[in-house]
């Protein structure tokens, strides 16, 4: 913790917080529940936050509940194993059959905390991304997961990541504070590289510009 942070009041001060994927939802929930709050000098940068959950979590539960009648190799490539981990179950999509009333209420509170505290965000609208060892699996995931929108990074939809924010804030240039790139979920975790040609495929440059 920084010197200006205060453990007694759970205030985080003079800190740059960077989250990816579920980390963004965890941070939002912590803020919403009062487990912590941001003080002066704190900024929060989030990538691919599933603020309404992810349909991949629902798909995984469908597979493991044998709702398709048979489990294929492709399904297991996406799901990993059955039963699915509790952490993945906790990403059940807001308003869908696996999300309880309590979970739906928690999503709404998290979205409000996100809107009130986020400094910069990366939310992708295209799952193809840059060429990498992760590309094929994330394309497969995007195609089988029955996402609510084709605008997704393979795991998280743009509308889920941007929930609570004005979509007009987002631009496709790496100089935009709120970035809507053409990147998959691995790309937004900085596990790959910047693309060669498109401004909408430069996650590293985007982060450098924020700093």
The C-alpha atoms of residue 142 and residue 184 are separated, in whole angstroms, by 10
Which pLDDT tens digit goes with each residue over 50-104? 999 999 999 988 888 877 666 565 666 667 778 888 888 999 999 999 999 999 9
Note whether residue 78 is domain-resident. yes
Note whether residue 110 is domain-resident. yes
Give how many domains the chain has, as a whole number. 1
Task: Count CB neighbours of 133 within 10 A.
Answer: 9
User: Where is 43: in which H helix or E strand?
Assistant: strand 43-47
Distance of alpha carbon 70 from the chain centroid: 29
Note whether residue 1 is domain-resident. no
Tell if the pTM clears 0.85, that is, is over it.
yes
Residue numbers of the domain that contains 124: 11-210
Which pLDDT tens digit goes with each residue over 99-155? 999 999 999 999 999 999 999 999 999 999 999 999 999 999 999 889 999 999 999
Q: Give the C-alpha distances (Å, rounded to integers) separating 27 from 30, 109, 131, 149.
A: 5, 12, 30, 24
Note whether residue 5 is domain-resident. no
């Amino acid at each position: 913790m920084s010197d200006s942070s205060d453990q007694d009041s759970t205030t985080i001060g003079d800190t740059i917080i960077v989250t990816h994927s579920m980390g963004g939802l965890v941070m939002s929930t912590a803020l919403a529940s009062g487990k912590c709050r941001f003080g002066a000098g704190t900024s929060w940068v989030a990538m691919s936050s599933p603020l309404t959950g992810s349909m991949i979590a629902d798909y995984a539960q469908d597979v493991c509940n044998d709702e398709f009648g048979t489990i294929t190799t492709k399904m297991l490539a996406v799901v990993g194993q059955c039963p699915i981990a509790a952490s993945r179950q906790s990403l059940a999509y807001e308003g869908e059959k696996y999300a309880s009333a309590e979970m739906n209420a928690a999503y709404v509170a998290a979205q409000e905390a996100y809107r009130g505290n986020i400094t910069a965000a990366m939310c992708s609208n295209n799952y193809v991304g840059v060429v990498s060892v992760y590309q094929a699996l994330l394309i497969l995931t995007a195609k089988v997961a029955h996402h609510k929108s084709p605008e997704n990074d393979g795991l998280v939809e743009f509308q889920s990541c941007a929930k609570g924010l004005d979509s007009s804030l987002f631009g496709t240039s790496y100089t935009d504070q709120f970035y809507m790139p053409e990147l998959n979920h691995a790309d937004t975790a900085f596990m790959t590289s910047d693309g060669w040609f498109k401004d909408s495929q430069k996650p590293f440059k985007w982060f450098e510009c924020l700093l």
